[in-house]
């Protein structure tokens, strides 16, 4: 977690929060505790319940059961207090495309009741931080997708919220624009409590202090990226790229190791303990030319596969 995180100060706490749409249980009894200053990610496929969870926390959707508090304010008993200290950048950017960036920020800031001078100062800081100053007087309809996403986040920040919700902030962006967006989100990290939803594995891995993997409305596992990976790393996986592998050699390997998988250009060997030199000593006398070896580390995709039985794909 970030060094600036306040120990034991809770920003978001959910208690069995659920949402049912007719026969569909979109969110199923979610319990979360998120600390002040934490960047917390809900990672999961489309339809996992991430956006529904955020809508409930932002008081845009009433829970079917359970509740939550934001900075100590109950989302059902005191929604006005919650709305005064949060803001959200939704999946679908809510921009006025015939206005320029300054005008969009001014409209947002004034709607929060901020003084004109305060809005102008914050707008300038945010436009500079988001790299939009050079284009700030152009109509938003001329902006690229990445620029619109950056402006959407700036609009969510102009009110200086204590808690910021980013719902799929890089959805549909090209890799270069996504990487640039990560840099901007990292600038916010630690200064505010941020809940980020994403279905991009590398995004959660790169940005989040902690990650909750969500699937079919439930939290299936929660922890830091490293904790999640370590939790499934009971076995080592060695990838061996080699020439001359025959079915007979692969079958002999399977007699020695619990799991041997043929992959493009070689094999992957999985076991609790692997001795590289032992494997090389086995292969070389049989005429196998080993080109490379790589001890694979667990990834978040491996974590998702382990806990849900399938891979998470974009």
Tokens of 10: 């809770």
Query: Closest Cα partner for 303 from 195, 193, 239, 224?
Result: 224
pLDDT category at 307 given cuts 50, 70, 90 is: confident
pLDDT category at 3 given cuts 50, 70, 90 is: very low
% of the chain at pLDDT higher than 90: 78
- pLDDT mean over 143-166: 95
- pLDDT for residue 313: 66
pLDDT category at 5 given cuts 50, 70, 90 is: very low
Question: What residues have CB less than 8 Å from 291, skipping those under 6 apart?
Answer: 241, 242, 243, 265, 266
Residue spans per domain, the chain = 10-230, 236-296
CATH T-level assignment (fold) for domain 10-230: Rossmann fold (3.40.50)
- pLDDT mean over 174-183: 91
- pLDDT for residue 314: 52
Residue 30 pLDDT > 80, yes or no?
A: yes
Residue 122 pLDDT > 70, yes or no?
A: yes
Domains 10-230 and 236-296 share a fold: no
Q: Which residues of 145-274 form beta strands (DSSP E)? A: 163-167, 193-198, 210-215, 218-223, 236-243, 259-263, 266-271
Number of H helices, E strands in the chain: 11, 14
Average pLDDT for the chain: 92
- pLDDT mean over 117-131: 95
CATH T-level assignment (fold) for domain 236-296: Alpha-Beta Plaits (3.30.70)
d(C-alpha 199, C-alpha 217), whole Å: 14
Query: Closest Cα partner for 72 from 120, 33, 24, 121?
Result: 33
Query: What DSSP line would sit under 130-147, residue for residue?
Result: TT-GGGTTSBGGGS-HHH
pLDDT category at 208 given cuts 50, 70, 90 is: very high
The helix/strand/coil state of 27 is: strand
pLDDT category at 4 given cuts 50, 70, 90 is: very low
How many CB atoms within 10 Å of residue 191? Answer: 13
């Amino acid at each position: 977690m970030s060094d600036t995180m306040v120990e034991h100060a809770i920003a978001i706490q959910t208690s069995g929060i659920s949402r049912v749409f007719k026969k569909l249980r979109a969110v199923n009894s979610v319990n979360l505790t998120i600390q002040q200053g934490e960047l917390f990610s809900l990672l999961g496929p489309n339809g996992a319940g991430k956006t529904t969870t955020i809508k409930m926390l932002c008081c845009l959707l009433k829970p079917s059961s359970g509740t939550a508090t934001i900075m100590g304010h109950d989302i059902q008993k005191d929604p006005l207090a919650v709305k005064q200290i949060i803001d959200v950048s939704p999946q679908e950017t809510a921009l006025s495309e015939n206005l320029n960036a300054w005008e969009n920020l001014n409209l947002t800031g004034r709607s929060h009741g901020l003084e004109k001078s305060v809005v102008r100062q914050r707008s300038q800081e945010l436009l500079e931080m988001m790299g939009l100053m050079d284009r700030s007087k152009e109509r938003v309809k001329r902006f690229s997708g990445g620029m619109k996403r950056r402006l959407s986040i700036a609009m969510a920040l102009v009110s200086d919220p204590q808690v910021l919700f980013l719902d799929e902030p890089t959805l549909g962006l090209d890799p270069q624009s996504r990487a640039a967006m990560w840099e901007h989100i990292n600038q916010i990290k630690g200064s505010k409590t941020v809940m980020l939803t994403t279905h991009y594995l590398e995004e959660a891995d790169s940005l989040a202090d902690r990650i909750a993997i969500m699937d079919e409305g439930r939290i299936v596992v929660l922890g830091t990226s490293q904790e999640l990976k370590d939790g499934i790393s009971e076995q080592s996986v060695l990838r061996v790229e080699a020439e001359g592998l025959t079915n007979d050699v692969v079958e002999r390997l399977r007699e020695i190791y619990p799991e041997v998988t043929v992959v493009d250009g070689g094999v992957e060997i999985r076991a609790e303990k692997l001795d590289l030199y032992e494997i090389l000593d086995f292969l070389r006398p049989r005429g196998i030319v080993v080109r490379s070896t790589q001890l694979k580390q667990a990834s978040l995709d491996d974590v998702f596969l382990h806990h849900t039985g399938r891979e998470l794909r974009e």
